[in-house]
Structure 1
Amino acid sequence: MWRRTYLLLVAVRLWFALSPSYLHPDENFQGPEIIAGEIFSYPVRRTWEFTSEHPIRSVFPLWPVYGLPMLLLRWLWIGNGQDGEIPPIAVFWTLRVLMFLTSFVLEDWALHELIPSPRNRRVAVLLVASSYVTWTYQTHTFSNSVETLVLAWSLVLIQRIVDVRQRSSILSSVILGMVCVFGVFNRITFPAFLLIPGLRLLKHFFYRPFSLIALVLAASFTTLVAISLDTAFYSPEPLTWGNLYNNLANNPVITPWNNFKYNSAVENLAGHGLHPWYQHLVANLPMLIGPATLLFFYRPQLSLRLGSALSGVAVLSIFPHQEARFLLPAVPLVLSSLRLPNNLIALRVWGVTWIIFNVFFGILMGSYHQAGIIPGQVFMSGQPDATNAVWWKTYTPPIWLLNGKNEVLTTRDVMGMKGESLLEELATLATCDTPADRRNQEYLKEKNGTYLLAPASATWLDPYLENKGLDGLRFREVWRYRHHLNLDDLDFAENGVWETLTRVIGRRGLVAWRVTKSC
């Protein structure tokens, strides 16, 4: 029975992986967009993490995670006789399937390795597989999702190293050294989750120093490779062995150190949002695991996994900028360290609550959350007249999905702009209204066109959409994606809870209007 349930949950995970929800811009801008620009020469937007004087994002983990699959896809594309570049949307879905496979194989496999008891293992695997975090965040291209997998296998390697049945732990130590460096260059928060598990290695390394030497040598070599790759990537000079050697000797780019210095300054974090020290514990963790929070506090099962989660949450709580996704690595560790209620009625009540919680947030985050942005970019890539696209009240769209349209299409992200300022912006960009605009598809033959993409729930636009007169802007709806929810447009203070929910949910969707004006 549990195997059929597990396979059903795997199918649910795949379904959400193939849904176009957009959980956070970082899932594109901190990884796929950068590497896609390097491999396919797509025009991309490099965020400040990559363009500052002291860059804080390493490309070292991006190449094996995203670069190798993209290179393989390009090789298969060319091998099948296809001409031209691969459509970016094909790359996008390939990476989603890849994240599903790594979650399904590596995460679940790690749980099998970490939990010796078959009964506890079945419960843990089902809890993790039924979590909406596994369905959504883990199937998206977040560095936090990668960190989850790296942490899980670091714990597996630690367990293998200290296992007294192992005749030699040198190989596991070498791999652990490489994996830990990979984890640090992926996210500097990674070591926080290894503080308590790492204590188990002290006694082992004391009696087996060659394992420690192997780990240090492997970690040192991997660090050198990572720094070399980052230095070469960020160097403005042509890549030669001589230039690389000079840069490494005089001006190496050490992104984890830059990242640590940046995040250690409160004034830097203030621009991203400051939170109280207990934000992770009382808000973010319950947001991720819901009803399991009660079991986490009242029925935890002491384990290496739980120690890892506790050390990670504790250290991350020191930093004043706290987002829920920072705790993704802790989710499978916590869920696999819980004891279910013994009382049958309590178990059933908890089980029903767990199912309702994850189905609700799974559908919300996996199917609807900003889900029109990816289809919207695909639509814009096919508009021959589009030269300006203004995105209002949405997340920043990934421009690498425009399939070469970037050369003529300027994408403007004005998410937080006031309505009056938006109209002024559109007035400067809108093309002249011609009779062709009012006929079926004749506008597509024009050389220039301005489009506004905004949620249907943006009721501020309503008075302007029906303009049929000679003056002012004219909005012609040309595209709509129904399964889009904009949770960043909730204004409970001004409109009240019921009216706000009615507007955002009842008028869900993302709409594209072609904007013209009388000239």
Structure 2
Amino acid sequence: MFLKTQIFKAISFKNPVKLPLSYWILVFIRFALTLIPQRGYIHPDEFFQNVEVISGDIFTIDVARTWEFNPKFPVRNIFVPKIILGPPIHLIRILNPYTKNLINIDLKTPYYLLTLPRLFICFLSLINDYCLYRVCAMYGQNFRNRLNIFATSYVILVYCCRSFSNAFEMIFFSILLFLVAECMYKSDVAIYHREFLNEKYKQAKTLVEKVKIFKLITHLPDHSLNHVIFIATIVVMGIFNRPTFIGFAFPPIFFWLHRGLGSKVVGFKDFHYRIFLLILCGIPTVLLLILVDSAYYGYLTMADIESLKVSWDNWVVTPLNFVRYNSDMRNLIEHGLHPRWLHLAVNVPLLFNVIGLMAFFTITIHIYRFVRGQYSKLPRIQSITGLMIFSTIIPVGILSLFPHQEARFIIPVLVPLVFLYGNNLYPNDSDAQRIKLLKKVLRIVWYILNIVLTLFFGFIHQGGIYPFVSNLHREIKSSYGVHTHVITTHSYSIPTFLLQLESTNTIYKDKSSGHTYKLAPTTFLNKYGSMPMENIFIKVDEVLTNAEKLLHKYERQYRFYLVSPCSLEHKISHESSKYPQIDLREDFSYYPHFCSEALPEFPTRHDQFCSEHNMLGANASRAVDLTMYQRISCYFKRFCLRVYRISPATNFVIDY
């Protein structure tokens, strides 16, 4: 009876929930940084792959639907963004009438539209923390140190609180690692006790002893197919969210299938059963997601179902389209080609700094030992350490095969990295004094680098876009009907959903006359990327001419802005001088704003623009030697986003 109790106590492992105060402070900081809000803009995909499209569906507003959601060839699944971003956006839609009337708060403003979805994603990011905690506690590892390291990573503070599909991928990966780790733990315990009892059964001399041991064996819980339904579902949803999830799911699935192989009680028959049932359990989720995508993109309608005219043309498989699109090198060239060593040499140190370098050093040692045949010094293949090592190497290795590599593609690797090396930043009692000092230095470096990168990516990188959009939203709402033209250059695209522009695709009906009509657009966002400045001003001239034509013929009032990084002020000033009919005035500047597409040049000692903008007074009109302090100050002041108001020059008639 005692043996039976110990078996079940080991298998039904429960973790005491006792987390350090320092961790809860870090969680509070995570939510506080989200609410400030973070005005940094990491990549257009954080808006245009998810929240922009979902907002357009729920609010029925004009949004920018990117090529990935083109019904002719869709490559993005809609189910995962709907279940993650749908709740906070629906909450805004439902609560907004009440908050406006009762407490005079409009939730459909840029601040709430930005922060509430992020707040929900930030809450979901705690799933990563919980999974890491459970795995550490399950295997008797120090979860306190690891959670502190994990929660101070800027990947968690910035990337995982944004609506990146990579942030969703990290959640799926963490859950998968936890489920597989728990299955491995329970299988190890069950196999150990089964082998122990089988040996006792063979050694039993009396029938009574054999019956007792046999009853214990029959009461051992089945472990072979633990969590098979959940694992299959997570894998399928992860692949539909991002087909690159195949690379992240491969190591956990491999370890789940191979649990106990080589022991006396688990054979290849169990291995094949696991494969068969894993595939079988994934089929319902595959069919559901295909059905949702096919209906959303218009391939399958109720009329097709009612008439039973359903063929292969009525179905769309977005992950398959994703693979087909990215297998064409011409498509990858449009998005930018990178060297295949970029993940390993740049992105791993950039994302994971100290623990990324630790991983590189340790894995190099493991490879050396493997080549030298020192297999006894390598981690056991079916251990939790083996799972985490392969869950680090395989995804980075697979994603490095593709020539398009962005840092966010490998952020899920943070979970196994922290499990493996997070505790190495804290000294042990057995460490020598020199090792303790080294670990302390590495921990300080970890904190400093993550603070700097949190500030940079969270608040500085493309940081002028959000405050400009916030002010633009107020202007549009305060002067309804006035045409607003915005040209942006050398900056990321403006998230259109933040402006809450009325849909121009919705058909309205006049109750008195019965006529139907559509609203004409009044806000025009022209995004020209890194187009040469001479071409930009050709567009400016065209837009201004058309706006003036509407003003004189139909009295359509308008406002016109050119938005550009401050570092391009020389080029803009030079180019605008060629257009005497255009009056270009600096309206406002938003600081800080880092734009890698238009980095400022360090000022010379006689820089004219520095003389004008450094408050040199009368000296601005003549050559002045700038001090090094003034040059540095002027250089940093150029990291801003400048808004120019455009209008016809005084006493100049535009020929329209």
> Which interval holds the TM-score relative to the shorter structure?
0.7 to 0.9
Partner of 1:254: 317
Matches within 5 A, 1:110-509: 110-116=131-137, 117=139, 120-162=142-184, 163-164=186-187, 167=221, 172-204=227-259, 206-207=269-270, 215-235=278-298, 239-240=302-303, 242=305, 246=309, 249-299=312-362, 302-338=385-421, 339-340=424-425, 342=431, 343-383=435-475, 384=479, 385-404=482-501, 407-430=521-544, 447-461=557-571, 463=573, 471-490=580-599, 505-509=636-640
The structure whose Rg is larger is 2
Decide which of 42, 56, 63 is 1:37's aligned counterpart. 56
Aligned residues: 505
Q: Give the match's secondary structure for 1:329.
A: helix
Alignment partners' CA distance in 2, 1:473 and 1:208:
74
CA separation in 1, counterparts of 2:168 and 2:346?
Answer: 23
Partner secondary structure for residue 56 of structure 1 = coil
Say if 1:79 and 1:380 are closer, same or farther in 2 by CA, change over 3 A: closer
Note the C-alpha offset of 1:333: 1.9
Give the distance between the partners of 1:272 and 1:48, measured in 2 at CA. 12
Q: Which residue is 1:442 aligned to?
A: none
- Which range moved further: 350-359 or 13-22? 13-22
Tell me which amino acid in the other structure corresponds to 1:193.
F
Aligned to 1:16: 33
Structure 1 residue aligned with 2:611 = none
Paired amino acid for 1:159: A
1:286 to 1:79, Cα distance in 2 relative to 1, 3 A: same
Q: CA deviation at 1:34?
A: 0.8
Rounded Cα–Cα distance in structure 2 between residues aligned with 1:245 and 1:161: 44
- 1:117-139 deviations in whole A, cap 9, x for unaligned? 56532222111111111111111
Mark the CA change 1:206 to 1:94 in structure 2 (over 3 Å): closer, same or farther: farther
Is the contact made by 1:381 and 1:405 (CA closer than 8 Å) also made in structure 2? Answer: no
Moved more, 30-39 or 301-310: 301-310
Cα deviation digits, residues 15-51 of structure 1 (max 9, x gap): 3322121100001110011111111101111111111
2:75 aligns with one of 34, 52, 56:
56
**How many angstroms does 1:289 deviate by?**
1.1
Q: Which moved more, 1:185-194 or 1:377-386?
A: 377-386
1:387·1:450 contact (CA, 8 Å) conserved in 2?
yes
* Structure 1 residue 288 displacement after superposition: 0.7
One-letter amino acid of the structure 2 residue matched with residue 335 of structure 1: V
Supply the distance in 1 between the matched residues of 2:310 and 2:449 (Cα, whole angstroms): 52
CA distance in 2, matches of 1:49, 1:457: 32
Q: Deviations over 1:429-449 (max 9, x none)?
A: 237999xxxxxxxxxx97112
Change (3 A) 1:515 1:304: same
Aligned position for 2:130: 109
Specify whether residues 431 and 405 from structure 1 end up closer, same or farther in structure 2 by C-alpha distance, changes over 3 A only.
farther
Displacement of 1:273 after TM fit? Answer: 1.6
Identical-residue share of aligned pairs (%): 27
**More moved, 163-172 vs 477-486:** 163-172
Query: Match of 1:440?
Result: none
Matched letter for residue 517 of structure 1: P
Cα pair 1:419 1:460 within 8 Å, conserved: no
> How far has the Cα of 1:99 moved from its partner?
1.5
Distance, in Å, in 2 between the alignment partners of 1:405 and 1:242 is 33
**C-alpha displacement of 1:291:** 2.3
Give me the whole-angstrom Cα distance separating, in 1, the residues matched to 2:307 and 2:330: 34
Deviations 1:256-303 (A, max 9, x none): 011111112222212212222221111111111112232112346834
Q: Deviations over 1:244-264 (max 9, x none)?
A: 964564341101011111112
Shift in alpha-carbon separation, 1:433–1:156, aligned structure 2, 3 A = closer
Q: Which runs of 5+ in 1 are unaligned?
A: 435-444
Aligned counterparts of 2:160 and 2:442: Cα–Cα separation in 1? 24
Letter in 1 for 2:128: E
Query: Cα–Cα, structure 1 residues 503 and 30, in superposed 2: closer, same or farther, change >3 Å?
Result: farther
Cα gap change, 1:477/1:113 in structure 2, threshold over 3 Å: closer, same or farther? Answer: same
Q: Distance in 2 between matches of 1:118 and 1:65?
A: 33
2:93 aligned residue: 74
Aligned residue identity for 2:351: L
Residue 430 of structure 1 aligns to a residue in which SS? helix
TM-score of the superposed pair, with normalisation by structure 1: 0.87
| Contact residue 308 and residue 333 of structure 1 kept, 8 A | yes
Matched position secondary structure for 2:562: strand
The answer to which of 387-396 and 120-129 deviates more is 120-129
Looking at structure 1, the residues matched to 172 and 593 of structure 2 have their Cα atoms a distance apart, in angstroms, of 32
Code of the residue aligned with 1:87 in structure 2: it is: K
Residue 439 of structure 1 corresponds to none
Deviation at 1:66, TM superposition (A): 1.0
> 1:455 offset after TM fit, Å?
1.9
- The aligned counterpart of 1:96 is 118
Contact 2:52/2:497, CA 8 A, preserved across alignment: yes
Distance 1:88 1:242, change over 3 A: farther
Work out the CA distance in 2 between the residues paired with 1:430 and 1:500: 36
Question: In the aligned structure 2, how far is the partner of 1:487 from the partner of 1:504?
Answer: 14
In structure 2, relative to structure 1, the CA distance for the partners of 1:23 and 1:296 (3 Å cut) is: same
Give the partner amino acid of 1:455: P
Mapped contact 1:29–1:45 kept (Cα < 8 A): yes
Give the partner amino acid of 1:30. Q
Distance 1:236 1:222, change over 3 A: closer
1:303-328 per-residue CA deviation (whole Å, 9 max, x = no partner) reads 42232121101111111111111011
**CA distance in 2 between partners of 1:131 and 1:476 (Å):** 42
Gaps of 5+ in 2: 1-17, 191-220, 260-267, 364-378, 380-384, 504-520, 549-554, 605-627
Partner SS, residue 457 of structure 1: helix
Cα distance in 2 for partners of 1:5, 1:400 equals 37
The CA distance in 2 between the partners of 1:378 and 1:12, in whole Å, is 24
Equivalent residue in structure 1 for 2:641, among 502, 510, 514:
510
Runs of 4+ with deviation above 4 angstroms: 78-86, 168-171, 208-214, 236-241, 243-248, 431-434, 464-467, 491-495, 498-504
Query: CA contact under 8 A between 2:96 and 2:108: conserved in structure 1?
Result: no
Give the corresponding residue for 1:438: none
Aligned residue in 1 for 2:518? none
| Matches of 1:232 and 1:500, distance apart in 2 | 59
